[in-house]
Amino acid sequence: MDETKETQNTINEKDIPAVEIPKPKYQWWQEGIVAGIIILLLTVAIFFVVRLLPILQSEETLVKLTYSQDKYIQFDSGFGSWSLLLGGVVTILYFVLFYFIRPSGVKPEFGPKYKWLIAYIILALFGYLAYLVIAVLLSGWGISLALSSGVATFLVGVYDYLIYKSYMEQRTMSNALFWEIFRFAIVGLVAAIFDFATCFIFQFLIFGGSTALYVTGIATGMGFIIGVTINYLMSTYMVYKAAKSNFSKSAKGIITFLVLSAIGLGIGVGIQYVLYDWLYIAVGVSFLTYPVDFVIRTLVVMVYNYITRKLFIYR
């Protein structure tokens, strides 16, 4: 009976569809130079477009956004609107440039029924949202609109090229440590976005920025529920898709995932309480604002998640 279960939980290597990962035609440093030139050229282009076009510099209604207790940023709503357009243009241009120039020399593939292209588009949308957030936040912190747009374009370019290689060049099927960690980081990023948005809504909109311990617990808990659901689905079907065991899809595997995630939640709540409620609010450590605390909490829990899932679930 145990042997039968073991057989069901293990995929025979013959059952795994063979996917030949295309080999780059150029050395990694040659590919890096070409990709870097593409990213830098588009960065400079967006910088000067924003700097030279008066319509992007017009002052409209200032929007105030609270991001921590008694902390807020103000940004121009007109620039925010134009960033929506520029972010879309940048995202499309990057794909077109990478597709036709091909820094690695590898012919891109869309996959059966365009599933790799669809996956790329979905992740590229997160890059588009990241462009908007980065540009708006930097401008709200007093950095010029042109430089804010340039920095956002550069960072999104690096992200877009990595997801381009992941899907258009089938690096999602690579067992190389770099690509596995990168896939895990992407999953963590996507889950963290939903986690942060949920925490923010509960902490600052529903409870009005209350620092009560139960508020921190509820906000972090709701973020955990949303984040862990997304994390499980993407970890199982994206990060560790080359794992030989089906344990993660079994009832026991799901329970193990939830237990390990709950421990991660406890670590996150503890870090959030110590850094935000105690050090920032009570002690007055000014730089430990809510976003800073969230980033620290997310990084610590992300490392914990990667190690524990690799050891106990996705073997």
Q: Could you state, in order of their start, the residue ranges of all structural domains in the chain?
A: 22-173, 180-315
200 or 108, which is more confident: 108
- Predicted confidence (pLDDT) at residue 142 exceeds the cutoff of 70: yes
Residues above pLDDT 70, as percent of the chain: 82
Predicted confidence at residue 152, as pLDDT, reads 94
Per the structure block, which two tokens stand in for 130? Answer: 């990241």
CA-wise closest residue to 270 among 212, 220, 230: 220
Q: Round to whole Å and give the CA distance between 287 and 290.
A: 9
Average pLDDT of the chain to the nearest whole number? 80
Predicted confidence at residue 217, as pLDDT, reads 79
- How sure is the predictor about 238, in pLDDT bands with cuts at 50, 70 and 90? low
Angle at 70 between CA 64 and CA 73, to 5 degrees: 30
Q: Round to whole Å and give the CA distance between 132 and 143.
A: 15
- The residue whose two tokens read 């925490």 is 199
165 vs 21, 78, 120, 189, CA distance in Å? 11, 34, 9, 18
Predicted confidence at residue 1, as pLDDT, reads 44
- Predicted confidence (pLDDT) at residue 303 exceeds the cutoff of 70: yes
Predicted confidence at residue 68, as pLDDT, reads 58
Q: Which of 28-37, 69-78, 175-184, 266-275 has the lowest mean pLDDT?
A: 69-78
186 vs 39, 160, 179, 183, 207, CA distance in Å? 20, 11, 10, 5, 30
Q: Which of 11-20, 152-161, 212-221, 287-296 has the lowest mean pLDDT?
A: 11-20
The average pLDDT across 63-76 equals: 62
Residues above pLDDT 90, as percent of the chain: 22
Using the CB atoms, write b or e for 12-49: b if 16+ within 10 Å.
eeeeeeeeeebebeeeeeebeebbeebbeebbeebbeb
- How sure is the predictor about 313, in pLDDT bands with cuts at 50, 70 and 90? confident
The average pLDDT across 233-239 equals: 69
- Predicted confidence (pLDDT) at residue 52 exceeds the cutoff of 50: yes
Predicted confidence at residue 204, as pLDDT, reads 76
Q: Round to whole Å and give the CA distance between 283 and 250.
A: 46
130 vs 19, 189, 195, 243, 303, CA distance in Å? 31, 10, 15, 30, 22
Per the structure block, which two tokens stand in for 145? Answer: 């609109």
Predicted confidence at residue 87, as pLDDT, reads 93
